[in-house]
Structure 1
Amino acid sequence: MPAAHPHHLHLAQDAYLKPLLEGIELPAFVADRPVYPALLESIISQQLSVRVADVIHGRFLALFNDGLPHPDQLLALPTEALRSVGLSSQKANYLRNAAEFALTRGLEPERIHAMTDDEVVAYLTQIKGVGRWTAEMILMFVLNRPDVFPVDDLVIRQAMVRLYGVEAQGRSLRLRLTEIAQQWKPYRTYACQYLWRWKDTV
């Protein structure tokens, strides 16, 4: 990543984070991903390894003739069909909730992109099965918002505890990590990407 990039220059002011910036290259952001299919993929991925989630997601898409889980088609599928690809009954219901929400409330890009980060979280978490973490992943990886800090992400927590030597626990840990991340504004999404990739190497 070129040192002249604004986020690189800003984050390099953090002495703990600076070595990560010098040794890790971030992938380019993927522009204009539709929110609805990405939300379904996020629900499927909840509490699963990347490998298992990818397999189940591929099987899920294969249930649809064009590989696209249109909301009305998803709602028409019986639970048995969804379970046959490896989904639990609970996740099948969560996917249906998202499809129903897409039809009745709307997940069109122009609607979502017009919202602030907090508004996106409040809007998406109305869907049963979509919590704050899932909404934050949509903000980071679908909407490409640059300043999101998913403090409840387990890998981010583990990485920050190790990198910064944080010894707090529980609520105190959450507050301390949030405090550390303040210095990364307005590029907390980028900082988290470095932490995720660094944690994979240690």
Structure 2
Amino acid sequence: MTDINSSALTHLAQDPVMARIIAETPVPKLVNDYADDVYLALLESIVSQQISVKAADAIFSRFRALFPDKYPQADALLLKTTDELRSAGLSFQKIKYLQSVAEFSLEKPIDRVHLDALTDEEIVQYLLPIKGVGRWTVEMLLMFVLDRPDIFPIDDLVIRQRMLRAYPEQTNGLTGKALYKVLLSIAEPWRPYRTTASRYLWRWQAT
């Protein structure tokens, strides 16, 4: 994954609030754990849903250990019994979701060559038919695996909470669609570097 560039920081600093957040916050660590492997990243994201990072890491490690070279090839994953997959600590629902990823990958390409030719929104719509994969999941994939520079994951709870603290005058008392409209308006000037802004918001320790 590429480093945060100076052009992005200069552009974002035109927003005085974002300039303060950048000044107060250590540079976010940009790590790509999957070496652009969209398939594996989707499997991991499903395992991680609604559980702690520690628990997810342990379950995903046990899950991968069920396969040769610790890589859950799609055809091999679909041959595993429910009991085998349950032995890794997976719920019945997550097993269905993992199988959905495997089935999708055998029917349609999800490699970088194919996805890199699509726009951000085209990728969202392309992957949403996979059971267990929602917009937020795809947006995380866009940010951290596909390295797309202008993603604003407004459905992320932490992003919303940090923006409420950073922009109290604009967001005071707002909820629901009204809040979303204002948050999108605040983030609009951050284009085309909303991914960088979001990374800083995640790491910012709001006081």
Question: TM bucket by the smaller chain?
Answer: over 0.9
What residue in structure 2 maps to residue 7 of structure 1?
Answer: 8
Q: Which runs of 5+ in 1 are unaligned?
A: none
Q: Which runs of 5+ in 2 are unaligned?
A: none
Q: 2:79 aligns with which of 73, 76, 81?
A: 76
Secondary structure of the residue aligned to 1:44 is helix
Secondary structure of the residue aligned to 1:16 is helix
Q: TM-score, normalised by structure 1?
A: 0.93
What residue in structure 2 maps to residue 16 of structure 1?
Answer: 17
What residue in structure 1 maps to residue 175 of structure 2?
Answer: 169
8 Å Cα contact 1:149/1:189 also seen in 2: yes
The offset of 1:84, in angstroms, is 1.8
Instruction: Determine if the alignment matches structure 1 residue 50 to structure 2 residue 53.
Output: yes
Q: TM-score, normalised by structure 2?
A: 0.91
In 2, the alpha carbon distance for the partners of 1:3 and 1:137 equals 17
Equivalent positions of 1:32-181 (< 5 A) are 32-165=35-168, 166-167=171-172, 168-181=174-187
The offset of 1:81, in angstroms, is 1.7
Q: Which amino acid aligns with 2:84?
A: A
What residue in structure 2 maps to residue 194 of structure 1?
Answer: 200
Q: Assess, with a 3 A threshold, how the Cα gap between structure 1 residues 129 and 3 changes in structure 2: closer, same or farther.
A: closer
In 1, the alpha carbon distance for the partners of 2:27 and 2:177 equals 32
In 1, the alpha carbon distance for the partners of 2:28 and 2:5 equals 15
Q: Which amino acid aligns with 1:75?
A: L
The offset of 1:65, in angstroms, is 2.0
Secondary structure of the residue aligned to 1:101 is helix
Residues 75-99 of structure 1 deviation map (CA, whole Å, 9 limit, x = unaligned): 1111122222221111110000000
8 Å Cα contact 1:71/1:102 also seen in 2: yes
Secondary structure of the residue aligned to 2:62 is helix
Q: Which amino acid aligns with 1:128?
A: K
Identity %: 50
Q: Which amino acid aligns with 2:87?
A: S
8 Å Cα contact 1:56/1:85 also seen in 2: yes
Q: How many residues end up aligned between the 2 structures?
A: 200
What residue in structure 2 maps to residue 184 of structure 1?
Answer: 190
